Structure 1
Amino acid sequence: MNIKVNWGTGIVIAIIGFIGFILYFVVRMSVEDKFSHDLVVEEYYKQETHFQDKLDAAQNAAYLKGSPKIEKQEKGLLITFPSAWKLDQAKGTCTMYRPDNKKLDLEVPLVVKNNQFLIPDKKIVEGSYKVQLFWEKDGRPYYYTKSIFY
């Protein structure tokens, strides 16, 4: 038996084969659990509207002398603020954003004592984090961020 395939039929078979190949990978990527499709942040557009506020707060923190020192210790992650900042009455939050897994993100109230703030070791899983400090003092917002590996 001798089957002849002309150019038109060959092109159609190639296109159908290519479409099948692409669909296989699209279905595989959307179904399998090991391919996570988390958003970087929830409510992205809502956060974007406050972007200028974040820039202003970062500029306020840049005007302060020095910057916080973030270091891993036995008890956890210790954040030490410069003594000139006097943040004992400051109110804010510390967010530890984990780019690879939003389930490991952590947000805790910023409670500064003796210009230090400790996040207990049991709350943090080893890996890469973006530490974001938001605080307000004397009616002015401040923002500081640093990427770390814990």
Structure 2
Amino acid sequence: MRINWSTGIVIAIIAFITFIMFMVVTMISNNEYNHDLVTENYYQKELKYQDHIDASKNLNKLEHPLVIQKVPDGLEVNFPKDLIPTKIKGKIFLYRPSNKALDSEIEINLNQHRFVISEKALVNGRWDVVIDFIYNNQNYFYKKEIIY
């Protein structure tokens, strides 16, 4: 049987449409291609953005900076030396952009200026570390992207 050029074009178009439909069904049904928002309440958090800017300015006004560094035990957060550790209350948020299941939230309860996040809670790769705390009714906010 001979196939003329018009039949070949129709077969090529049908094959292309079949391929596109296969890709669409695969992307929709496979969890590997599931891309969620970083946070569930994205718009509510955006409304609080100015509060974060003000809290970041408060942190920058302190004499000593907040420092995050990788140590053998995990991730070490050193709070400013000019703050009394027992009066610091807040949370540390660990966001993993590539995997929502690894996100975690840690309460800040200090006896000293040093706080260590265990390496068991961290997987190698990129993390967004957000530290939101209150000291003497003043809000402080710190955000940094790190590679662990």
Instruction: Note whether the superposition's TM-score is higher than 0.5.
Output: yes
SS of equivalent to 2:54: helix
The reply on whether 1:130 has 2:132 as its aligned counterpart is no
TM-superposed deviation, 1:21: 2.8
Letter of the 2:74 counterpart:
G
Q: 1:13 offset after TM fit, Å?
A: 5.8
Q: Determine helix, strand or coil for the equivalent of 2:39.
A: coil
Q: Within 5 A, what are the aligned runs for 1:77-92?
A: 77-92=75-90
Shift of residue 118 of structure 1? 1.5
Number of the residue aligned with 1:35: 33
Alpha-carbon separation, structure 2, partners of 1:41 and 1:19: 35
In the TM superposition, what is the alpha-carbon distance from 1:44 to its structure 2 partner? 1.1
Structure 2 length normalisation: TM-score? 0.84
Alignment partner of 2:21 out of 20, 23, 40: 23
State the alpha-carbon separation in 2 of the partners of residues 3 and 120 from structure 1. 67
Q: Give the total of aligned pairs.
A: 148
Residues 11/5 of structure 1: CA separation in 2 closer, same or farther (3 Å cut): closer
| Code of the aligned partner of 1:145 | K
Match of 1:97 among 89, 95, 98: 95
Deviations along 1:71-108, one digit per CA (max 9) or x if unpaired, are 22232221112312334301100011111101111110
Contact 1:94–1:134 (CA under 8 A) maintained in structure 2: yes
The one-letter code of the counterpart of 2:41 is: E
**Distance between the aligned counterparts of 1:127 and 1:77, measured in 2?**
13
- Residue 87 of structure 2 aligns to a residue whose secondary structure is coil
Gaps of 5+ in 1: none
Alpha-carbon RMSD: 2.2
Q: Match of 1:107? A: 105
- Residue identity over aligned pairs, in percent, reads 39
The CA deviation at 1:62 is 1.8
Report the Cα distance in structure 2 between the residues aligned to 1:5 and 1:127, rounded to whole angstroms: 53
Q: Secondary structure at the match of 2:94?
A: strand
Contact 2:131 2:142 in 1 (8 A): yes
Contact 2:62/2:80 (CA < 8 Å) preserved in 1? no
CA–CA distance in structure 2, aligned partners of residues 13 and 65 of structure 1: 72
Give the letter for the 2:84 counterpart.
K
3-state SS of 1:84 partner? coil
